[in-house]
Amino acid sequence: AVLGRTFRLRIVEELCEGDAAAAVVELLDARLLDSAEHLASSTAPGEYQFRHGLIRDVVYESLSTEERQMAHSKDGQLLAARYSAGRDEPPAIIAKHLTLGGHPALAGDYWQAAGATALGASFAESAVASYTQALQLYRVSRDANEEHFVDALFGRAQARLLLGDHDGAGADLDELVAHPRLGARAAAVQRLVAERAIRIGEYETATTAAGLSEQAARRSGDLVAVGEACRVRAEAHERLGQYQRAADDARRAHSIFQKIGDANRMVHADLSLGRIYLMQSRYPEAKQAYAPVLDHLARWSDPWIERLAKNHVAVIELCLGNFQAAWDAARASLAVCERYGDRARAGDNHSVSGIILSEIGLFDHADDCFSRALAIQEQTGSQWARADCLIYAGLNDHRRGRSSQGRQRIDEAIKLARDIGAKYVEANALCALTEVLLVGGSVT
């Protein structure tokens, strides 16, 4: 019962240090247990399940507090030993037993492992939950390892940023920057500060943090971190309309990753360079830059790259007049974002979908997409994306005969773009405003 409603006979036998098969047969005959493999195709031979959850609950609650803690402790330590030996034991299950068994520091380590597993699979909500459990245990445990605490806090900041929880990520990053023992994490922390600043439109902060990241990386001799700092700084320069600086940094990052033979990060650098060309309206060059990115995705599954690349490809195809290809790419990117809980980029996807629909005259459907995008962007604080979306939402309003509302949205986009220093967005908004005024008969 302590193991859960479903359990493996092998684990019970290891815990009981004897043959439990006879007892299981007796419980099966009494119709208290079922063979789990007959209930679900995903279960393996040797798994059993309490016929009713209530039976398991009654048995569990019949144990004293001390008996339950001792049993959870024994279960957790056995499963942890199997995990350390390379067995396929879910770290979150181990962590739950160790938590209830009175081993907070060790349980924190397994919650952290569960968070890292979830984050590696881009399941951000699960990662945040696991890292939060780890941090809570580390904070109350005298035996907690400071490096493990830093790792968990950094992991949660990453996961929160993936979810678009910029306030939560900011709080974690503030605590990390103030931590006296960042050690090898210093470069990565500053890089994450830069990435968050880009998301919320603080581009000068982003370039400063990227510079600090590069300095820390060079001090530690970490070429990968140097390249990552250059790549992130390229994005900050691009958002400020400083395209030559952005391209120089993106190429520098690509050169570093090529030198050390990191093909995956080379693709990330290609992604940055393609976006720079896109922002300069150099669409054929942008499409060419994305060719190795799409080739990489055809051979390797990479959700982070896929949701970015396909959204950018959608914009390129839209600008080239290939509306069906643009729509297919945008929806493919949105599907990945929704699968992994990436709210911030899901907002970008809805916006691009709205632009495509507006261009082919489906104004009502476009308005629905823009409304979804703006709601997400307001929640996540994605300033650049919100300003950009407001432009096209305003144009769509104008085309639907709601010019006053459209003008208000475009004016809001201009103000927001100026506030965050997004030159490209400001220029785009002014072009949109010109269209509204010309059609409306104004010569001002």
In three-state secondary structure terms, 50 is strand
What burial class does residue 351 get, using C-beta atoms within 10 Å of its C-beta: 0-12 exposed, 13-18 middle, 19+ buried? buried
Helix axes 91-100 and 104-120, enclosed angle (nearest 10):
160
Residues 6+ apart with CB under 8 A from 380: 164, 165, 166, 199, 343, 344, 347
- Cα–Cα distances in angstroms (integers) from residue 148 to residues 14, 217, 407, in the given order: 30, 20, 52
What is the average per-residue pLDDT within 416-439? 87
pLDDT higher than 90, residue 257: yes
The rounded distance, in Å, linking the Cα atoms of 415 and 391 is 11
* Percentage above 90 pLDDT, the chain: 55
In three-state secondary structure terms, 48 is strand
Q: Are 56 and 27 in contact (CB under 8 A)?
A: no
The rounded distance, in Å, linking the Cα atoms of 128 and 165 is 10
What is the average per-residue pLDDT within 276-295? 88
> In this predicted structure, what is the pLDDT of residue 38?
56
pLDDT band (50, 70, 90) for residue 294:
confident
> In this predicted structure, what is the pLDDT of residue 396?
95
pLDDT higher than 50, residue 42: no
Torsion-angle region of 376 (φ positive above 0: left; ψ -120 to 50: alpha; else: beta): alpha
pLDDT band (50, 70, 90) for residue 337:
confident
Instruction: Give Cα 92 to chain centroid, integer Å.
Output: 19
How many Cα neighbours within 13 Å face the side chain of 215?
Answer: 7
Q: What are the beta bridge partners of residue 33?
A: 50
The rounded distance, in Å, linking the Cα atoms of 163 and 376 is 11
